[in-house]
Structure 1
Amino acid sequence: MKGNKRRDTSFELAVRCELHRRGFRYRVDFAPLATVRSRADIVFRGARVAVYLDGCFWHGCPVHATSPKSNASYWLPKLERNRERDSQINGALRAEGWMVLRFWEHEPPGDIAQRIADEVRARRLGEQTIATDAPSREPHLG
């Protein structure tokens, strides 16, 4: 387990490079909410978008997940807890108005970056529309 990187995997770097190339700036390995014990891989605070780049083994990809051969009595429950925790985190963030995007490590980084960019732009446009409709509202500082 020590050999598994928490952040800056080649997959994460490829997605972040694509986003940066498209002009997006973001937080890396950042907790979207202080009340939720989770650090998203990429966070757009102003647009309230949290991106998780999940490994196929660790998060149970329906296409590529494999069952551990040795010490299965330890690994199978651990991997199931990972999936349950992912679901709980999704619910907690969505309840607070966040958009949660999850991608598998086997998806092409360019496609992922495009989907993220589309969602962030849409949420930013939505915020601008709200601010225009309510001139008495304080400006958003985020």
Structure 2
Amino acid sequence: MSDVYDRAKRSAVMARVRSKNTTPELRLRRLLTDLGARYRLHRKDLPGSPDVVMPGRRLAIFVHGCFWHGHDCARGSRVPKANRDYWLAKVARNTARDARNRQDLAAAGWRVETVWECEMKDEAALRERAAAWLAPPPSRPG
């Protein structure tokens, strides 16, 4: 099946796709700020350049779009009809890269969290999850 857009229109549409400062990422950052968290953005010296990094907590957070990173939800499991083979391969590469980045970060002693675009719909659950990231670790007896 051919594309529904001509080359110029498709180019314009794809040029608007951002990798930084996406709406889900901005919403998570606003929530973390409301919880009093301090963080850094897009640390290029870490594998995968996590979207949000809390160095003192050794916490790296990725905010993934369900379509682009192959999440197991309605939006993530959808494959475009046009250029189907390309998109299947692209999402598979993204998923493999994500797993490699998580593994590399964990090996370096980082906690890694992933927030999916579809999880942004339930802000109360996301706030609870983020608060758990920020909670002090349980104290050891003695």
Cα 1:31–1:121 shift into 2, 3 Å: farther
TM-score scaled by length of structure 1:
0.77
Separation (CA, whole Å) in 2 of partners of 1:25 and 1:74: 39
Of 37, 42, 47 in structure 2, the residue corresponding to residue 29 of structure 1 is: 42
Aligned to 1:136: none
Alpha carbon RMSD of aligned pairs, Å?
Answer: 2.1
Separation (CA, whole Å) in 1 of partners of 2:57 and 2:37: 12
Residue 52 of structure 1: SS of its match in structure 2? strand
User: Does residue 73 of the first structure (1) align with residue 85 of the second (2)?
Assistant: yes
User: Does residue 52 of the first structure (1) align with residue 62 of the second (2)?
Assistant: yes
Separation (CA, whole Å) in 2 of partners of 1:44 and 1:100: 11
Residue 135 of structure 2: SS of its match in structure 1? helix
Higher relative contact order (CA 8 A, sep 6+): 1
Separation (CA, whole Å) in 1 of partners of 2:41 and 2:124: 18
Residue 102 of structure 1: SS of its match in structure 2? strand
Residue 118 of structure 2: SS of its match in structure 1? coil
Equivalent residues in 2 for 1:1-142 (5 A)? 1-31=14-44, 33=46, 36=47, 38-64=48-74, 65=76, 66-107=78-119, 108-122=122-136, 125=137
Counterpart contact for 2:37–2:134, Cα < 8 Å = no
Separation (CA, whole Å) in 1 of partners of 2:20 and 2:96: 21
Count the aligned residue pairs.
124
Cα 1:13–1:63 shift into 2, 3 Å: same
Cα 1:113–1:52 shift into 2, 3 Å: farther
Separation (CA, whole Å) in 2 of partners of 1:75 and 1:45: 35
* Greater CA drift, 105-114 or 23-32: 105-114
Quote the offset at 1:110 in angstroms: 4.2
Separation (CA, whole Å) in 2 of partners of 1:97 and 1:40: 14
Cα 1:121–1:32 shift into 2, 3 Å: farther
Residue 91 of structure 2: SS of its match in structure 1? helix
Quote the offset at 1:7 in angstroms: 1.5
Following TM superposition, the consecutive aligned residue runs of length 4 or more in structure 1 with deviations greater than 4 angstroms are none
TM-score scaled by length of structure 2:
0.77
